[in-house]
């Protein structure tokens, strides 16, 4: 995905806002239509039938008819795609789009270009034998820094070429999506980035992701994802406070919330930028990149509980979740996978942070604190995150979990029939179990043993 900031003129902005409204209206109609389906009713209309209905609706509704048919039809196509990918995309069923929140529309290229097969031969129509013409976005590069793109009803809209070198403007994009968020317009071209060539040195690197250090590399480097500065965070709080105290439905309230949202958007931009740069660096310098396998979705689950059984320490867990999500772990893994296809591996995470990378001994007492690792068996001393990343680099796939009876590799003697866990700080702990003194490390995700209340008689695996 290549995303660029757009700078429309005020007239263009008005037109584009109308496109957003039309696209949202059509999308929501489709959501409503599909929400009506019940067992025993006839199937809900698909894309082709919906397009036919859209033509009818455009004839009857003057507001809709005045809009651009392509923009409205693309909203239906987006819906059809979202609907068919609802089990695999992770987003679930397509839901309502809200004004100011989900502003955007898709533009289909108006340029017709001949299509070719992968081997370079022209694509021919099977029946008529004519050349197949595909769609292409009309993009014009103005100079080194600026380019412009045709948007229906708006003419040329200029955008800033922020990515340098090749691939700045993808020439083969068939469509692109325009979005408005926090007062900023962006154009995202649907294109998969070129994979980065492996250096061919045979270098393997392991990456341990944490909250204090975003990514600890097995060669000792510690990379941190930039976040808001202390001053910026104070400003966010200030704007949120002003918004909360402003009278209801006042312009003051809207303005204060907008200012806070703008700062948060800045943080997200910084995070994305860091993930892009870091993943490119990793793909360029290492042949094999190993991440520990994290299920971020379950790790950042809320501690809220249900109405009958409310959870405890909900606010603290929320803070931890926010800290985890601010690290961009998932994005870093995803983008590295895009740029180095076939060279990224996921290593099972258990015990990577407790195992001594020198002798393989697993003992929770080796982990002296968040940062310090001193092996209780061989005395190997290392930064705890670096130690974990070395374990990740080694790949833990074949190593079995520690057993109660000491075998090769060693084990922690069983204490209170708990499985091996990392040291838990007392001062920032989150207790998950009633009456038990189980703490969650604020720098590290809670392991399954702590978040799922288990019977005290459970034997460790």
Site residues (CB under 5 A) for Zn ion? 356, 358-359, 361, 375, 377-378, 380
| Least gap, CB of 359 to Zn ion (angstroms) | 3
Neighbouring-strand partners of residue 180: 103, 185
Residues 458 and 449: beta-carbon distance below 8 Å = no
Which residue's CB is nearer to Zn ion, number 105 or number 361? Answer: 361
Q: Where in 192-300 does DSSP place strands (E)?
A: 204-209, 215-217, 222-223, 288-293
| Least gap, CB of 2 to Zn ion (angstroms) | 47
Which residue's CB is nearer to Zn ion, number 47 or number 380? Answer: 380
Which residue's CB is nearer to Zn ion, number 257 or number 380? Answer: 380
Which residue's CB is nearer to Zn ion, number 188 or number 374? Answer: 374
Which residue's CB is nearer to Zn ion, number 235 or number 377? Answer: 377
Cα distance between residue 358 and residue 409, in whole Å? 11
Which residue's CB is nearer to Zn ion, number 252 or number 359? Answer: 359
| Least gap, CB of 379 to Zn ion (angstroms) | 7
Which residue's CB is nearer to Zn ion, number 292 or number 363? Answer: 363
CB atoms under 10 Å from CB of 135, counted, come to 14
Cβ-based neighbours of 315, under 8 Å, separated by 6 or more: none
Residues 396 and 345: beta-carbon distance below 8 Å = no
Both tokens of 79, joined, read 């819906």
State the alpha helices, DSSP H only, in 36-103: 47-60, 62-65, 69-84
> Of 351, 442, 435, 428, whose CA–CA distance to 392 is shortest?
351
Task: Give the distance from CA 38 to its chain's centroid.
Answer: 33
| Least gap, CB of 421 to Zn ion (angstroms) | 18
| Least gap, CB of 358 to Zn ion (angstroms) | 5
Secondary structure (DSSP) of 119-175: TSPBPB-TTT-PBPEEEE--EEE-SSSEEEEEETTTEEEEEE--S-STTSS-TT--E
| Least gap, CB of 410 to Zn ion (angstroms) | 9
| Least gap, CB of 83 to Zn ion (angstroms) | 53
């Amino acid at each position: 995905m290549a995303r660029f900031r757009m700078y429309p003129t005020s007239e263009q902005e008005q037109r584009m806002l109308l496109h957003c409204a039309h696209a949202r209206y059509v999308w929501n109609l489709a959501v409503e239509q599909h929400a009506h389906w019940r067992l025993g009713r006839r199937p809900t209309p698909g894309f082709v039938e919906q397009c036919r209905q859209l033509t009818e609706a455009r004839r009857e509704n003057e507001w809709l008819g005045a809009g651009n048919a392509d923009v409205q039809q693309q909203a239906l196509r987006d819906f059809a795609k979202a609907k068919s990918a609802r089990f695999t995309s992770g987003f679930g069923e397509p839901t309502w789009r809200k004004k100011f929140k989900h502003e955007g529309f898709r533009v289909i290229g108006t340029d017709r270009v001949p299509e070719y097969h992968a081997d370079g031969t022209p694509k021919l129509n099977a029946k008529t034998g004519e050349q197949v013409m595909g769609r292409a976005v009309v993009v014009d590069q103005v100079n080194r820094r600026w380019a412009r793109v045709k948007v229906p009803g708006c003419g040329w809209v200029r955008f800033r070429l922020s990515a340098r070198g090749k691939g700045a403007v993808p020439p083969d994009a068939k469509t692109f999506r325009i979005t408005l968020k926090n007062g900023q317009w962006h154009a995202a071209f649907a294109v998969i980035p070129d994979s980065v060539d492996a250096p061919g040195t045979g270098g393997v690197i392991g990456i341990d992701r944490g909250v204090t250090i975003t990514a600890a590399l097995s060669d000792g480097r510690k990379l941190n994802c930039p976040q808001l500065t202390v001053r910026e965070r104070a400003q966010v709080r200030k704007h949120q406070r002003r918004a909360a105290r402003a009278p209801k439905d006042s312009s003051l309230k809207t303005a204060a919330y907008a200012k806070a949202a703008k700062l948060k958007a800045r943080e997200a931009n910084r995070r994305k930028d860091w993930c892009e740069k870091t993943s490119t660096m990793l793909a360029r310098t290492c042949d094999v990149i190993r991440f520990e396998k994290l299920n971020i979705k379950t790790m950042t689950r809320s501690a809220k509980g249900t109405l009958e059984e409310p959870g405890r320490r909900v606010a603290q867990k929320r803070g931890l979740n926010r800290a985890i999500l601010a690290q961009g772990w998932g994005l870093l893994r995803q983008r590295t996978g895009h740029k180095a296809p076939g060279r990224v591996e996921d290593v099972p995470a258990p015990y990577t942070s407790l195992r001594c990378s020198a002798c393989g001994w697993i003992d929770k007492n080796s982990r002296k604190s968040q940062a310090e690792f001193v092996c209780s068996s061989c005395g190997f001393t290392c930064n705890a995150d670096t130690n974990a990343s070395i374990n990740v680099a080694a790949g833990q796939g074949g190593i079995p979990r520690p057993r109660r009876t000491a075998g090769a590799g060693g084990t922690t003697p069983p204490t209170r029939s708990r499985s091996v866990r990392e040291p838990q700080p007392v001062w920032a702990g989150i207790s998950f179990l009633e009456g038990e003194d189980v703490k969650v490390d604020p720098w590290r995700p809670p392991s399954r043993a702590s978040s799922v209340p288990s019977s005290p008689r459970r034997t460790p695996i």
